[in-house]
Amino acid sequence: MSSNPIVCAEGVVKRFGRLEVLKGVTLDVHAGETVCIIGPSGSGKTTFIRCINHLEKIDGGRIEVNGHLIGYREKNGKLVEDTENNIARQRCEIGMVFQRFNLFPHMTALENVIEAPVRVRKASKHEAVREAEALLERVGLADKRDVYPGKLSGGQQQRVAIARALAMKPALMLFDEPTSALDPETIGEVLQAMKELAEAGMTMIVVTHEMGFAREAADRVVMMDDGCVIEEGTPEHFFAAPSHERTKQFLSKIL
Amino acid sequence: MIAAFEWHIFWDRIFHPDHVFAQALWRTIYIAVAAQFFGVVLGLVSALMRMSKILPLRILGGLYVLVVRGTPVIVQIFFIYFGANLFLGFDLFPRTIGFGLFSLSGAVVAGIVALSINEGAYMSEIVRAGIDSVDKGQMEAARSLGMPQRLAMRRIVLPQAARVIVPPLGNEFNNMLKTTSLLAFIGVYELFLDADIHYSATFKPSEYFAAVAFWYLVLTVVWSVIQAWIEGRLAASERADRLSFWERVRSAWAPVPDRLWSRGGAR
């Protein structure tokens, strides 16, 4: 594992009204690492990764990706929110896969994948199509390039969504419970695609309830509860001998 | 005594329309199309204003919709056409206004302006409902791919909102075709004024007004056929259940249970 951190989150605080959802989350993720975040619902896992690409504003702390402060600029020692265009540029480096896929329903699988490279990266259409075809091939959906999302299964849609995020050549991929909305029989194909991606050296943060995936594919497992990281470690340590009482309880309930 | 309905006058207006009538018909059509077009543009702009992060824009957009929807169209038409003269002492709309390739009478232009402004307020509500109907996840997905908000709105949200906007838009245009008749009151020679003038000359109201009603009906029926075609085209790309043109027409006339459970109704 190399030592340069891709993600550097420091004391991240997030409030929804009076409710404090993140109470100072600190986490470093290194290049090529796959980190799984687990924890009970309401623990702030999803909110935390949404902060990493600034889909949520933060109320305290700071997040850096690739050495760049995300969503904010430093002005006289204070953080002020960055401009829409700068934030958009930073998001190009951060791919995200959503629980509910969020494919664009008015575009075919291929059009979904080439949309951002062509419109945002200003890639030539020809080039973008070539790369998109390669990505669809990689997730096993080369034959679905001209199909609209409405005619794809959940698992297929999620794999297109992974290809769509990869098309921007991100340095980091965020997965927000990518298999929670899937039928049991299609979960495997999505996890397989994610495993291959992890093995290929992508830096990934995965919020998941799939303990099997965490055990096999993660370099590190992070347990969150009530807005805090309460324990982290290698999967071997984590599943065999968790040290925190809350982690033991949680694992005993879901394993 | 009730006068007998003179059918020959009625049939004559329908089967032998004169040249003046044809011009009035054409004027009705292009005024409605122009006013609807600018109404959609105004509706889109004001809907986006009302969703803006900037408070004054939100207030401005909100006031526009509030005032325009809260006052009668005929009053708006009068104020637009005569207002500048009444309050400021000059004519905003001269007798004829040239647009390079063609020219229009001032009353026609004032009519188009007034109907556009009126229509824009209603379209604003429709556009906003359309944008609201698009899943929030769509905007998030677009932004997570590095698309700035404007680009995401244009490429991802609005095309999906369009599907929701088009059916009520069709309704609005149907209304617009008939609302143009109010422009007769500022002297625009369109279908209704044509009928009104014939009535004044002959004192045969039933014949001429029944005939002009028939012509409005023709306009709206033609429009509903065009509308069914457009909706079919829009739905085609996404829906597994593609309806042919005739299936759409038939489903519009089907009894309720059929409409709810047939391929046309359930989504």
pLDDT in tens, B4-47: 889 999 999 999 999 999 999 999 999 999 999 999 999 999 99
Q: Report the half-sphere exposure of B78 (CA within 13 A, side-chain side).
A: 7
B-chain residues within 8 Å CB-CB of A121?
146
| ipTM (interface predicted TM) | 0.92
Q: Could you give the CA distance from residue B157 to residue B221 in angstroms, rounded to a whole number?
A: 31
Secondary structure of residue A174 in the 3-state scheme: strand
Residue B253 is predicted with a pLDDT of: 78
Identify which of A84, A96, A148 has the shortest CB distance to residue B148.
A84
Q: Could you give the CA distance from residue A209 to residue B110 in angstroms, rounded to a whole number?
A: 64
Query: Does residue A106 sit at the B interface (CB-CB below 8 Å)?
Result: yes
B-chain residues within 8 Å CB-CB of A55?
140, 143-144
Is the distance from CB of B75 to CB of B83 less than 8 angstroms? Answer: no
pTM reported for the whole predicted model: 0.84
Burial of A166 (0-12, 13-18, 19+ CB in 10 A): buried
> In chain A, pLDDT over 90 holds for what percent of residues?
87
Q: Could you give the CA distance from residue A246 to residue A235 in angstroms, rounded to a whole number?
A: 17
Q: What is the CA radius of gyration of chain B?
A: 22
A119, A122, A164: which to substitute to probe chain B, counting the most B Cβ within 10 Å? A119
- Inspect the interface and report whether the beta carbons of B145 and A100 lie closer than 8 Å: no
**Chain A residues 161-190 within an 8 A CB cutoff of chain B:** 161, 164-165, 168
**Chain A residues 194-253 within an 8 A CB cutoff of chain B:** none
Residue B241 is predicted with a pLDDT of: 54
Terminal Cα distance for chain A, rounded: 29
- Inspect the interface and report whether the beta carbons of B146 and A88 lie closer than 8 Å: yes
Q: Could you give the CA distance from residue A46 to residue B203 in angstroms, rounded to a whole number?
A: 76
Residue B255 is predicted with a pLDDT of: 74
Q: What is the DSSP letter of A74?
A: E
Residue A106 has pLDDT above 80, yes or no: yes
Residue B265 has pLDDT above 50, yes or no: no
Give the dihedral sign, CA B117/B120/B124/B126. Answer: positive
pLDDT in tens, B188-231: 999 999 999 999 999 999 999 999 999 999 999 999 999 988 88
Q: Could you give the CA distance from residue A146 to residue A168 in angstroms, rounded to a whole number?
A: 20
Is the distance from CB of A233 to CB of A221 less than 8 angstroms? Answer: yes
Identify which of B141, B149, B151 has the shortest CB distance to residue A102.
B141
Q: What is the DSSP letter of B240?
A: S
pLDDT band at B151 (very low <50, low <70, confident <90, very high): very high
Do the bridges between strand A5-16 and strand A60-65 make them parallel or antiparallel, or are there none, so unpaired? antiparallel
Q: What is the DSSP letter of A234?
A: -
Q: Could you give the CA distance from residue B192 to residue B28 in angstroms, rounded to a whole number?
A: 9
- Inspect the interface and report whether the beta carbons of B240 and A151 lie closer than 8 Å: yes
